[in-house]
A and B are shown apart, each in its own frame.
Chain A
Amino acid sequence: NAGVTQTPKFQVLKTGQSMTLQCAQDMNHEYMSWYRQDPGMGLRLIHYSVGAGITDQGEVPNGYNVSRSTTEDFPLRLLSAAPSQTSVYFCASSPRTGLQPQHFGDGTRLSIL
């Protein structure tokens, strides 16, 4: 099993460009989430989903959109990139039961110029 796969691993964008970060998992997990990791701020939840067709906002949702059309995929969209969105983005998944640990992807390092 590949686990959680994120693409791309690195990306540089110009301010105002749009982009989709891909996340796929092959463990049939219901719960998927996106975090951003910034120095001194730890991991902050952007959006999450508890199943196909269900998404909700996390702590820092502004500037990001998500959708969950299948159990496997949970893409994160930046509609108009801003320098403040320069960060490392992690996708994670887990079974729906809250006591289960999350499985993380390798991360996407995104720079907005």
Chain B
Amino acid sequence: AQRVTQPEKLLSVFKGAPVELKCNYSYSGSPELFWYVQYSRQRLQLLLRHISRESIKGFTADLNKGETSFHLKKPFAQEEDSAMYYCALHSGTYKYIFGTGTRLKVLA
């Protein structure tokens, strides 16, 4: 079955500390993975996607096919990073499967 798992509902870190938001997926084909972010009172928006291999707002994510993971990382968290983060899998049949989300709180 196709599935995206985000094991942490809430992750609290102090400002300046490293952040890792976990995402594991289950998919039989070649996955297309995304991270979306929803800041308070804003729309859900794309943060990054694995095919771009880019760094957005200091965040990176590497696809590890062996571990079926796409964890989101940032070396030094900022208060403005506090938001809800969703990992999403495009299943190849025009369906996007989202994880349950992780709320990141960056403490001053």
Tell me which of A15-23, A36-44, A62-70, A76-84 binds B: A36-44
CB atoms of A50 and B94 under 8 A apart: yes
Per the 8 Å Cβ criterion, residues 42-94 of B in contact with A are: 43-46, 49, 51, 86, 88, 90, 92, 94
Q: Is the pair A99, B100 in contact by a Cβ cutoff of 8 Å? A: no
B99 to chain A, nearest CB (A): 6
Which of B44, B90, B100 interacts with A41 by CB under 8 Å?
B100
Would B96 and A45 count as touching, CB distance under 8 A?
yes
- Do A33 and B43 contact each other (CB < 8 Å), given the known contacts A98-B90, A101-B49? no
Query: Which B residues have a C-beta under 8 Å from some C-beta of A?
Result: 6, 9, 32, 34, 36, 43-46, 49, 51, 86, 88, 90, 92, 94-101
A104 CA / B90 CA spacing, docked (Å): 16
Q: Which of A45, A92, A107 contacts B97 (CB 8 A)?
A: A45
A102 to B34, CA, bound (A): 10
**Distance in Å from the Cβ of B26 to the closest Cβ of chain A?**
14
Q: Is B43 touching A40 in the complex (CB atoms < 8 A)?
A: no
Q: How many Å lie between the Cα of A50 and that of B95 in the bound state?
A: 10
Establish whether residues A106 and B86, one from each chain, have CB atoms under 8 Å apart when the complex forms. no
Closest chain-A Cβ to B57's Cβ sits at a distance in Å of 15
Kindly provide the distance from the CB of A33 to the nearest chain B CB, expressed in whole angstroms: 7
Q: Report B-chain residues with C-beta under 8 Å of the C-beta of A44.
A: 98
**A42 to B92 alpha-carbon distance, docked (Å):** 20
Contact of A42 among B32, B49, B86, B90 (CB under 8 A): B86
Supply 6 A–B pairs (Cβ within 8 Å), ascending by A: A42-B86, A42-B98, A43-B98, A98-B94, A104-B43, A104-B44
Interface residue from B6, B43, B95, B100 paired with A58 (Cβ < 8 Å) = B95
